[in-house]
Amino acid sequence: MLDDPKSLAGNPTDNNVAPQVKPEEKLAELSFGPLKTVHVFWLAGMSCDGCTVAVAGATQPPLENLLTGTVTGVPQVILHHPVLSIEAGEEFIANFYKAERGELDAPYVVCYEGSIADERIAAATGGYFSAIGSERLSDDVHRPIPTTEWLKRLAPGAAAVIAIGTCATWGGIPAAAGNPTNSMSLMDFLGKDYRGTAGLPVINIPGCAPVGDNFTETVAMVLLFLQGIGPLPEFDELGRPAWLFKETVHQRCVRGGYYEEGIFATEYGGKECLVEIGCWGPVVQCNITQRGAINHMGGCMNTGGVCIGCTMPGFPDKFAPFYKTPPGSTVSSNAVRTYGAVIRRLRRMTQQFQNMEPRWDESNQPVPSGWGQVEKPSLVNKAIHYLYEKMQYRGSVRPGDYVGEGSLKAKGKHTPEV
């Protein structure tokens, strides 16, 4: 009978786990460009294939441009993917063995989709959690090769290892509390000291599913670095592309203006800020609201969905229960309501005046619109706006106020007659 599964995770450097997760001695260091091709080996662990779908829909650059080598300066990508590759069976798996033996004609990168399960748990009952290909033990006996084992074999010689999707980057849903697989992330599996042959630690591109463009853009920039014609992209302390995951969902949210004015949705489907019906956007690092899901369209908050923190290391446990108001929003949203109500009214007042032509102000006649009656500003609003304009044009000249020979102002007119 197995020990407590939790004890099997341990620390990647612990003796009880080291045989499973510690990489072998590294192969020869990578020689930087020029490179014509780079092999990419795609491994799928505890995943739903959603990451593959997202990458297949990427547009900046498109996956097909990477595969055909038409992105300027980027070497052609030769993709070995269990779903997208043309090869099958022994012909497909042969390239994995070549990479393991260092027999490829070009450097290679490993991309891992899905979390890494503890295959010892499945092996104890003669099974496995996820595998690619099989190896012959005897004439009549074949053994499936777990993707975890492929990662252990290929990681030491890889120029870079990229974790795509939250399951691979942080463990994700398969690693949630109570799971029977003892799943973990690539960083947990390979350990803090892991470096590829190009000297890179694990690169993390989270998301459930991730934005496809985030992946292809990062891959292209890493390949330019391997090519020797581009700098190493900036990554944060957790290995995320810093330029993609530095800001929060809330900072780029299309509903952010409602939050600022203290207007919140009270039910799903509302157009206002979603914080009070369960959105974690103010603390979640993700660019989904800016970039959209696919081809700059869609995206959770853009289409009415609350942010449940799927790009974060704490997902899903630290964001449960979903669709319940985050405790922190009670303080922030009430504070916003206090000043937002005042700011909102002042802005609407200014908006009313900016919706008036200067001629309409001077004529003091009803607005000549046949669509409806436009209310005139009250005396209080006029007084406030008078002070507003004083501040607006302080240190500058108001249009039409220049007095010179032949000017309209000199003739006693602010705007020309028709």
Q: What angle do CA 43, 178, 281 make, to 5 degrees?
A: 75
pLDDT of residue 1: 36
In this prediction, residue 413 carries a pLDDT of: 58
Written in H, E and C, the secondary structure of the chain is: CCCCHHHHHCCCCCCCCHHHHCCCCCCCCCCCCCCCEEEEEEEECECCCHHHHHHHCCECCEHHHHHHCCCCCCCEEEEECCCCCCCCHHHHHHHHHHHHHCCCCCCEEEEEECEECCHHHHHCCCCCCCEEEEEECCCCCEEEEEHHHHHHHHHHHCCEEEEECHHHHHCCHHHCCCCCCCCECHHHHHCCCCCCCCCCCCEEECCCCCCHHHHHHHHHHHHHHHHCCCCCCCECCCCCEHHHHCCECHHHCCCHHHHHCCCECCCCCCCCECHHHCCCCCCCECCHHHHCCECCECCCHHHCCCCCCCCCCCCCHHHCCCCCCCHHHHHHHHHHHHHHHHHHHHHHHHHHHHCCCHHHHHHCCCCCCCCCCCCCCCHHHHHHHHHHHHHHCCCCCCCCCCCCCCCCCCCCCCCCCC
Beta bridge partners of 43: 112
Structure tokens belonging to residue 416: 């020309």
pLDDT at 18 (0 to 100):
35
Contact between 253 and 288 under an 8 Å Cβ cutoff? The reply is: no
Distance between start and end Cα atoms, the chain: 95
User: Which residue in 2, 13, 185, 23 sits closest to 100, CA to CA?
Assistant: 23
Q: Single out the residue of 165, 34, 397, 156 nearest to residue 173, CA to CA.
A: 165
Pairing of strands 131-136, 142-146: antiparallel
pLDDT, residue 295, reads 84
**Under a CB-based contact definition with an 8 Å cutoff, are residues 185 and 221 in contact?**
no
Per-residue pLDDT of the chain in tens (418 residues, 90 and over written 9) = 344 433 443 333 344 333 444 444 444 455 566 899 999 999 999 999 999 999 999 999 999 999 999 999 999 999 999 999 988 898 999 999 999 999 998 999 999 999 999 999 999 999 999 999 988 888 788 889 999 999 999 999 999 999 999 999 999 999 999 999 999 999 999 999 999 999 999 999 999 999 999 999 999 999 999 998 999 999 999 999 999 999 999 999 999 999 999 999 999 999 999 999 999 999 999 999 999 988 888 999 999 999 999 999 999 999 999 878 888 888 888 889 888 899 999 999 999 999 999 889 888 888 999 999 998 889 999 899 999 999 998 888 788 776 566 655 555 655 554 4
Residue 356 and residue 246: Cα distance in Å, rounded? 41
The structural domains of the chain, ordered by start, are 23-243 (3.40.50.700), 247-355 (4.10.480.10), 366-397 (no CATH)
- Indicate the length of the chain as a whole number: 418
pTM here is 0.82
Identity of the amino acid at 402: Y
